[in-house]
Structure 1
Amino acid sequence: MSIRAKLAWTFILLLIFGITAISSYSILFIRNYLLEAGREQIINDSEWLAITIQNLQPGPGFDTNLNEAARTSGYRIAVYDEEGVLFAEVPYSAELQAAEVLSENILQMIADRESTYLPDSEGSERLETYRSLDADQNPAAYLKVSILKDRLYEPIKTIRWIIYSGMFISMGLVILVSILFSRYISRPILQLESAARDIAGGNVNRTLNLDRKDEFGDLAASLNRMAERFRSDNEEIKKLYEKQRQFFADITHEIRNPLHTIAGSLEMLQMQSLDPGKRDHYLQTAMRQTERINRLFKDLLTLQRYDSDSYFIEKKTFDLSEIIRHVVELYRDEARLKGLSLRYDEAPHTVHADPDKIEQVIENLVSNAVKYTAEGEIGIVVDEYEDSVSVAIRDTGIGISPEHLERLFDRFYRTDKARSRDKGGTGLGLAVVKSILNAHGTDIRVKSKPGEGSEFSFDLSRG
C-alpha cells in the first residue's frame, strides 16, 4: 500500500471514529436530558392536575372534565378512592384496568410524602407519578399520572436524523479532505523519494524544485546540495580519470621513445663492420636514453611520494648557498660549452627546509635554463627578508608564450614537445618543482616573455 493510501485511510478512520463517537455521545446525552426534563415536567404537571381534579364536581360531568384534562396535558390520568381502588381513568387502558388497586407499598410511599411521588422507572416503559388528593368535591383520594417514555424520546428521532445526516455529510467531506490532504502531504514525499532514487541511480543532474518553507523544503534543499556535490565530485573524478589516462599514455610514450632509440643503437652496435667513431656515438646515445629513463622514474617517484607520503619532506636548518654553489658547479661546464655565463654571487643564507628537495628544485630550474637559453647569461639571485629568503633563477632564453603559462606545471606538459624531447626532458621537471615547493607551504612563480627570457622564483622560510 502506498504512503498516500496509508495517510488517506488513517485520516478517514480516525475522523470517522471521532465523528461516530461524538454523535453517539450526543444522542445518549440528549436522551438522558429529555428523560430528566420529562421527570421534572411530569412532577410539575401532576401538581396542577391534582388541583384541577380536586375541584371537579362528581356526576356525569366528572369523566368529561377528567378526559379534557388528560387531553390538554397529554398524560394518562388514573384516579383512586380512599381504598386505592381505581374508579376513573382517561384515556381508557386495558393495562390500567387490570391493575385497578394500588399496592400497599405505593400507598405507603404516597403517605410518607407531602409532594408528588416519582418511583424509579429505569426498567419501565412508562414514567409515572403518584400523589394524594385532598378533594372535598369528589371521592378522589389518589392520583396517578403517567406517560410512555417513547413519547418523551420522540424529539430524538428528529435529532438523530439530523445528527446522522450531518455525520454522513461530514464523513463524505472527511473522505474528500483526507484524500486531498494525503495527496498534499505525500506529494513532496514521493517527489523526494523519486529524486533520491534517481540520484542513487547516478542521475546527479536531477534537481528538485520544491518551493516549501517546512521540513520537506529543507530536505529538498539538502538533496539538491547533495546532487550538486555529486555532480562536482563526478566532474572531479572525470578530470582525474582523464588526467590518469593521459598520465599513463604519456609514460608509455616517454618510455617507448628512448627504448626504441636504445634498441636501434644496440642493433647498430652488433654490426661487425661499424667503425669505432660510430660505435662510440651509438654507445653514448644508448647511455643518454638510459639516463633519461632513470630521470623519468626518479621524477615519478618524487611525485608519487608527494601524493601519498605525509613525510615527503624533512625540514632542517641549513645554508642555502652551499646547495646553490653545488648546482652551479654541476652545470658550469655545460653552460660554458654553450657560451653561457652562469652567475651566482655567493653569500650565506640560512633557511629551514628539506635540503635534498630544495637542491632538486634548484637543479631542475637551472637545468631548464641551460637547455632553453642559446646565448646570454643565467643568474641565480637570493634576497633576504625578515622571515623568508627569496630565490630567483633568471635566463635570457627563448621565453614562454602566455598561453602556456597556465599549464606550465602540469605533468608531462611541454610548450614544444618535439624540441623538449630532443633536449632529453621528461616533462615532469616543473611538476616536481611545484610539488616540492607546495609541500614546503610555498609556491613557484614565473615571469616570462617570448624572446626575452624567463624568471622562476620561490620563497623559503628562515625558520
Structure 2
Amino acid sequence: MINKVGMSKQLIIALSIVNFSVTAGSVFFGYFIYTYAIETGWISLKTLNEDWSVFHSVDWVWLFFVLLFGSVLSIILGVKLANRFIIPINFLADAAKKISQGDLSARVEDAEGHSAEILELMHNFNSMAQQLETSVKNAQVWNAAIAHELRTPITILQGRLQGILDGVFQPDPVLFKSLLNQAEGLSHLVEDLRTLSLIENQQLRLNFEWIDLEYHVERVLLIFKERLHQTGFNIQVELSVTQVYCDSRRIEQVLIALIDNAIRYVNAGVLKISSNMIEQSWVLQVEDEGPGIPIEYQRDLFNPFFRLEQSRNKELGGTGLGLAVVHAIVVAHKGLIKYSNFQNNSVFVIILPLKVN
C-alpha cells in the first residue's frame, strides 16, 4: 500500500519510536542487569544505597547497553528513512539525466511507498516530462507541416521569377497577379502562425469593446464581394443581436476565415450569417448548403493543418490553419465553437459570453 503520510510526520513518528524504545530499553536493561548483579553477588542493595552518587561498574554496563541499543535502533530507522527519501530522489535524478540526453520517454516508475511530498514530486515530474515530450513531438509535426506549406509558394515564386530573368515567361499582369497571390498566401500563413503562437503562449491581447456587429459583417462581405459574385454565392444576413462585446479585429478575422473556407470548399448557394441571444451569451452562426464534413473528420476539424483528403489537391486549397485560428480566437474570448452537419448543411456556431469579466 502506498504510504501517503507526509515527510514531516514520518520524521516525528520515527523520532517518537526512538524515544519510546530507548526509554523502554533503559527500564528493561536496568531491571535485568541490576537483578542479575544482585543475584550473583556482583553488587548488593546496601552498596547501591551507600554509593548512589558514584558510578559502579554495573552502572557502566547498564549505560553501555542502553547506548548500544539506542544507537543500533537509530541507525536502523535512519537507514530506512534515508532509503525512503533518497531512493526516489535518485530515480528522479536518473530520469532527469535521461531526458537531458534526449530520451524524452523517461519516467519515474517506483511502486514502493513514499511520503506524500515525494509522491507529488514524482507525479509532477512525470507530468512535466509528458508535456515536454508532447511539446517536442508537436513542434516536430509543426516544423514539418510549415516546411511543407512554405515549399510550394516559395518554389512557384522562385521558378516564375527565374523564368522572367531567363526570358521564359513574359512579365505581364496575369503573371504578376499569380505571383502576388502566392505572396499574399505566404503573408496569410505567417499571420495565422503568429496568431496561433500568441494564443498558445497566452500572449494574445484582446481589445474588448462594444461593437456594431452589422457594420463589421458588411466590412468583411465587402472584402469578398467579387469572389462571392464569381462563385455564385447568395449572402443572407439575419442579425437579431448587433451590439457585441468583443475584439472587433479578431471577430472580423473569424468571419473572414469562415467565409473564405466556404468559398473554397462549399457548394454555391445561400450562405447565411445570423446572430441571436441565448441567456447570457450571444450566438453567431454561419450556415451553408453543403456538402458538409463527414463525421469521421469532424473531431480533427479545428486542428492545425487539418484538411480533408479530397480537398488537398484543389486549386484553391488553403493551408489548413483557418479553422484552427478561428477556434483559438473563440477560446481566447472565453467562448465555444461547434460544428454540425444537419441535412448536409454545414453550420458553424460560435457562442461567446455577453460580457467577459
TM-score computed with the length of structure 2 as normaliser? 0.74
Task: Tell me the secondary structure at the aligned position of residue 397 of structure 1.
Answer: coil
Q: Is the 8 A contact 1:412 1:428 kept in 2?
A: yes
1:325 aligned to 196, 218, 221, which one?
218
Partner of 2:187: 294
Partner of 1:238: 133
Gaps of 5+ in 2: 1-17, 52-56, 96-105
Partner of 1:207: 110
- Give the letter aligned to residue 354 of structure 1: D
Q: Is the 8 A contact 2:241 2:282 kept in 1?
A: no
CA distance in 1 between counterparts of 2:50 and 2:176 reads: 127
Moved more, 318-327 or 22-31: 22-31
Partner of 2:46: 31
CA distance in 2 between counterparts of 1:248 and 1:435 reads: 19
Q: Is the 8 A contact 2:327 2:337 kept in 1?
A: yes
- Give the letter aligned to residue 352 of structure 1: Y
Alignment of 1:349-368 (within 5 A): 349-368=242-261
The 3 A distance-change label for structure 1 pair 380 and 177 is: same
Q: Number of matched residues?
A: 313
Residue 306 of structure 1: how far off its partner (Å): 2.3
Partner of 1:268: 163
CA distance in 2 between counterparts of 1:448 and 1:433 reads: 18
Structure whose CA Rg is larger: 1
Partner of 1:422: 315
- Give the letter aligned to residue 285 of structure 2: A
The 3 A distance-change label for structure 1 pair 424 and 282 is: farther
CA distance in 1 between counterparts of 2:325 and 2:128 reads: 26
CA distance in 1 between counterparts of 2:332 and 2:49 reads: 94
Partner of 1:457: 349
CA distance in 1 between counterparts of 2:334 and 2:163 reads: 50
The 3 A distance-change label for structure 1 pair 23 and 269 is: same
Q: Is the 8 A contact 1:313 1:354 kept in 2?
A: yes
- Give the letter aligned to residue 112 of structure 2: N
Residue 200 of structure 1: how far off its partner (Å): 2.3
Q: Is the 8 A contact 1:388 1:459 kept in 2?
A: yes
2:207 aligned to 302, 314, 318, which one?
314
Per-residue CA distance 1:415-445 (angstroms, 9 max, x = gap): 2386277325122211211121111111211
- Structure of higher RCO (CA pairs closer than 8 Å, 6+ residues apart): 2
- RMSD (Å) for aligned C-alpha atoms: 3.8
Alignment of 1:172-183 (within 5 A): 179=72, 182-183=75-76
TM-score computed with the length of structure 1 as normaliser? 0.58
Q: Is the 8 A contact 2:210 2:246 kept in 1?
A: yes
Q: Is the 8 A contact 2:337 2:350 kept in 1?
A: yes
Partner of 2:5: none
Partner of 1:113: none
Task: Tell me the secondary structure at the aligned position of residue 308 of structure 2.
Answer: coil
The 3 A distance-change label for structure 1 pair 387 and 393 is: same
Partner of 2:281: 388
Partner of 1:196: 89
Residue 252 of structure 1: how far off its partner (Å): 1.7
Partner of 1:410: 303
- Give the letter aligned to residue 267 of structure 1: Q
Task: Tell me the secondary structure at the aligned position of residue 407 of structure 1.
Answer: coil
Alignment of 1:35-46 (within 5 A): none
Residue 339 of structure 1: how far off its partner (Å): 2.1
- Give the letter aligned to residue 254 of structure 1: E
Q: Is the 8 A contact 1:327 1:362 kept in 2?
A: yes
Task: Tell me the secondary structure at the aligned position of residue 422 of structure 1.
Answer: coil
Q: Is the 8 A contact 2:160 2:169 kept in 1?
A: no
The 3 A distance-change label for structure 1 pair 266 and 388 is: same
- Give the letter aligned to residue 252 of structure 1: A
Moved more, 292-301 or 23-32: 23-32
Task: Tell me the secondary structure at the aligned position of residue 224 of structure 2.
Answer: helix
Task: Tell me the secondary structure at the aligned position of residue 201 of structure 1.
Answer: helix
Partner of 1:150: none
Residue 348 of structure 1: how far off its partner (Å): 5.7
CA distance in 2 between counterparts of 1:402 and 1:259 reads: 34
